[in-house]
C-alpha cells in the first residue's frame, strides 16, 4: 500500500447541500442510463434483435463500466479529480444521442459503451464525495447517494413508456438534454470537493493505514461479498432487463403496461435503498446484509407461480429487500480497506455493473434456448446464496482484529 494516500480531511458535520447535489447528479445519471434498458422492447422490434443480442447490449454497457471503474477509483485514490464529475454526464449525453439515432446493431453497442464510460467516470469520485460530505454518517450518506440513482433508474421506464414508446427511438436524444442540468449540479459539487482537498479548505494527506486487519481476513470477507453481490445483481439483472418481456409473454400486457409494472418494482427498489445504510449505522452492516439478500428468498421463489396481480405485489418486497444490500456491502468493504475509498467504490460499482451485464447476457442466451419463464424459475433460487453471510466477521470481530493488527 502506498506510503500516503491523497485523502481529504473528514468533514465534521453532514454537508447536506453537497450530499444532495451529488445525489441529484446520481439521479439524473441513472435516469439517462435507465433509458437504454427501458427501451429494449422497442429496440428489439425496430432492429429485429434476439434475446441474446439484447443481453449483449447490457453486457457492453455494464462491462465497460465494470472494467473502468476500479481503474478510475485506484487512480483517484492517489490523485483525486473533483472536476471529473461534470465530465461523466457529457459522455452519457453523447451515448444517448448516439442511441437516439442508431440505425444498426453496432451503433447500439457503441452507444451502450459510451453510456458505460460515463458511469465509470461518475461513480468512484461521486461515492467518495458522498462519504466526505457525510460527517461520519457513512451508511446514511451512501444510502442517500444510492437512492438518487435508484429513483433515477425507476424513472427511466416511465419516461420510456410516456415519451420514447410514443414518439420513437429518436426521442431518446431529446431526453439527453437532462445531462446539461447534471453538468451544472456536479460542477458545484466538484468545486466544493476541490476546496476541501486544498490546504485552505481543510484537506490533508492522510497517514498510511496499513495492517489494520489481517490480510487473510480481508481477502476472505471480500470473496464472501463477491458471492453475495453475484446473487443480488444477477437477480436484479433478470428484473431490469427481462421483467417487461416476462410480463408481456406471460400475461399478454402491452409494452406500456409492462413499463408501468417495471416502474413499480424499481420504485420499491429505490425506497428500500433508504433503509440499508442508516440501519447499518445503528445495528451493523452484517445484520443488514443478512436480511437484504436471504430475506428476499421466499418472495422470489413464489413469483414464477403467481398471476399478474400477485407478480406485481411480490415484486414490491423483492425490490424493497434486495435494495438495502448494496450500501451495507459497500460501507462494510470500505471499512475492510480504509484509505482505499475510491478503489473500493470503483470495484464494487464495477462489479455491480459487471455481474449485471454478464448475468443479462447469460440469461438472454438461456431465454433464447428455453423460455423467459424458465429463466425466472431458475433465478428464484439466487437469494439462497445469502446464507454465506454467516461467514462474514461480525462488527465485534472486526474491532478485535483491528486492535490485534
In tens, the pLDDT along 378-388 reads 999 999 998 98
Interatomic CA distance for residues 191 and 86, integer angstroms: 10
Residue 327 or 230, more confident: 230
Amino acid 113: pLDDT: 93
Overall average pLDDT of the 162-190 stretch: 87
pLDDT at 191 exceeding the cut of 80: yes
pLDDT at 4 exceeding the cut of 60: no
pLDDT at 74 exceeding the cut of 50: yes
Grid cell at residue 140: 446514511
Overall average pLDDT of the 282-288 stretch: 74
Amino acid 305: pLDDT: 95
- Who contacts 354 (Cβ-Cβ below 8 Å, separation ≥6)? 62, 63, 65, 66, 67
Residue 225 or 206, more confident: 225
Amino acid 370: pLDDT: 93
Interatomic CA distance for residues 290 and 280, integer angstroms: 11
Amino acid 381: pLDDT: 95
In tens, the pLDDT along 122-163 reads 888 888 888 888 887 777 888 888 888 877 877 887 888 888
Three-state DSSP class for residue 168: coil
The answer to whether 276 and 325 have CB atoms below 8 angstroms apart is yes
Interatomic CA distance for residues 121 and 117, integer angstroms: 6
Q: What is the mean pLDDT of the chain?
A: 81
Amino acid 162: pLDDT: 83
Residue 24 or 143, more confident: 24
- Run of H or E residues at 155: helix 138-159
Exposure pattern of 231-257 as b/e (b: 16+ CB <10 Å)? bbbbbbbbbbbbbbbbbbebeebebeb
Amino acid 397: pLDDT: 66
Taking phi over 0 as left and psi of -120 to 50 as alpha, with beta for the rest, 174 belongs to: alpha
Amino acid 120: pLDDT: 84
Interatomic CA distance for residues 393 and 146, integer angstroms: 25
pLDDT at 196 exceeding the cut of 70: yes
CB-CB neighbours of 200 under 10 Å: 7
- Who contacts 352 (Cβ-Cβ below 8 Å, separation ≥6)? 66, 229, 233, 326
pLDDT at 206 exceeding the cut of 70: no
In tens, the pLDDT along 309-347 reads 999 999 999 998 888 777 778 778 877 777 677 777 777
Amino acid 106: pLDDT: 93
- Who contacts 53 (Cβ-Cβ below 8 Å, separation ≥6)? 105, 364
The CB-based long-range contact list for 397-403 (8 Å cut-off, 24+ gap) reads 398/213, 398/335, 398/336, 401/213, 401/214, 401/217, 402/212, 402/213
What domains are defined for the chain? 8-203+211-404 (1.20.1250.20)
CB-CB neighbours of 370 under 10 Å: 12
Sign of CA dihedral 67, 72, 77, 78: positive
Three-state DSSP class for residue 202: coil
In 3D space, the residue among 244, 264, 270 whose CA is nearest the CA of residue 165 turns out to be: 244
Amino acid 276: pLDDT: 66
203: confidence class by pLDDT, cuts 50, 70, 90: very low
Grid cell at residue 392: 462474514
Grid cell at residue 355: 455481474
- CA angle, 269 then 178 then 96, to 5°: 85
Interatomic CA distance for residues 139 and 332, integer angstroms: 9
Residue 88 or 333, more confident: 88
303: confidence class by pLDDT, cuts 50, 70, 90: very high
Amino acid 210: pLDDT: 45
204: confidence class by pLDDT, cuts 50, 70, 90: very low
Amino acid 217: pLDDT: 79
Q: Report the range of poorest mean pLDDT among 159-163, 188-192, 241-245.
A: 159-163
Kindly state the percentage of the chain with pLDDT values over 70: 86
Amino acid 304: pLDDT: 95
Environment class of 308 (CB within 10 Å of its CB; exposed 0-12, middle 13-18, buried 19+) = middle
In 196-352 the beta strands, taken as DSSP E runs, fall at 204-206
Rg (CA), the chain: 20
Q: Report the range of poorest mean pLDDT among 102-111, 336-345, 361-370.
A: 336-345
229: confidence class by pLDDT, cuts 50, 70, 90: confident
- CA angle, 134 then 330 then 212, to 5°: 85
Q: Report the range of poorest mean pLDDT among 2-11, 81-90, 102-111, 114-123.
A: 2-11
Residue 238 or 10, more confident: 238
Amino acid 82: pLDDT: 83
Amino acid at each position: 500500500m502506498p506510503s500516503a494516500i491523497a485523502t481529504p480531511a473528514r468533514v465534521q458535520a453532514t454537508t447536506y447541500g453537497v450530499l444532495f447535489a451529488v445525489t441529484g447528479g446520481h439521479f439524473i445519471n441513472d435516469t439517462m442510463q435507465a433509458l437504454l434498458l427501458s427501451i429494449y422492447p422497442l429496440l428489439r422490434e425496430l432492429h429485429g434483435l434476439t434475446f441474446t443480442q439484447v443481453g449483449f447490449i447490457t453486457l457492453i454497457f455494464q462491462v465497460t463500466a465494470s472494467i473502468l471503474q476500479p481503474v478510475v477509483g485506484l487512480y483517484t485514490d492517489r490523485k483525486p479529480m473533483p472536476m471529473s464529475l461534470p465530465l461523466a454526464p457529457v459522455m452519457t449525453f453523447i451515448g444517448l444521442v448516439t442511441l437516439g439515432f442508431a440505425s444498426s446493431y453496432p451503433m447500439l453497442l457503441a452507444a451502450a459503451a459510451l453510456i458505460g464510460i460515463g458511469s465509470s467516470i461518475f461513480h468512484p469520485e461521486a461515492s467518495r464525495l458522498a462519504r466526505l460530505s457525510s460527517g461520519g454518517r457513512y451508511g446514511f450518506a451512501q444510502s442517500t447517494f444510492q437512492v438518487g440513482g435508484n429513483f433515477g433508474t425507476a424513472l427511466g421506464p416511465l419516461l420510456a413508456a410516456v415519451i420514447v414508446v410514443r414518439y420513437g427511438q429518436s426521442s431518446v436524444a431529446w431526453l439527453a438534454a437532462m445531462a446539461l442540468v447534471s453538468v451544472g449540479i456536479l460542477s458545484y459539487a466538484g468545486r466544493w470537493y476541490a476546496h476541501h482537498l486544498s490546504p485552505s479548505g481543510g484537506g490533508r494527506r492522510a497517514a498510511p493505514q496499513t495492517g489494520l486487519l489481517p490480510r487473510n481476513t480481508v481477502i476472505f470477507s471480500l470473496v464472501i461479498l463477491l458471492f453475495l453481490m453475484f446473487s443480488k445483481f444477477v437477480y436484479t439483472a433478470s428484473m431490469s432487463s427481462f421483467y417487461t418481456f416476462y410480463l408481456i409473454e406471460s400475461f399478454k400486457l402491452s409494452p406500456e403496461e409492462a413499463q408501468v409494472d417495471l416502474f413499480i418494482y424499481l420504485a420499491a427498489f429505490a425506497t428500500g435503498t433508504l433503509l440499508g445504510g442508516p440501519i447499518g449505522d445503528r445495528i451493523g452492516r452484517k445484520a443488514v446484509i443478512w436480511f437484504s439478500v436471504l430475506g428476499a428468498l421466499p418472495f422470489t421463489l413464489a413469483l414464477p407461480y403467481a398471476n399478474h396481480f400477485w407478480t406485481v405485489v411480490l415484486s414490491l418486497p423483492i425490490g424493497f429487500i434486495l435494495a438495502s444490500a448494496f450500501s451495507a456491502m459497500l460501507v462494510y468493504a470500505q471499512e475492510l480497506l480504509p484509505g482505499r475509498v475510491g478503489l473500493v467504490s470503483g470495484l464494487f460499482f464495477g462489479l455491480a455493473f459487471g455481474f449485471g451485464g454478464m448475468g443479462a447476457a447469460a440469461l438472454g442466451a438461456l431465454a433464447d434456448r428455453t423460455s423467459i419463464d424458465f429463466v425466472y424459475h431458475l433465478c428464484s433460487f439466487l437469494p439462497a446464496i445469502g446464507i454465506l453471510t454467516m461467514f462474514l466477521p461480525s462488527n465485534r470481530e472486526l474491532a478485535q482484529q483491528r486492535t490485534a493488527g
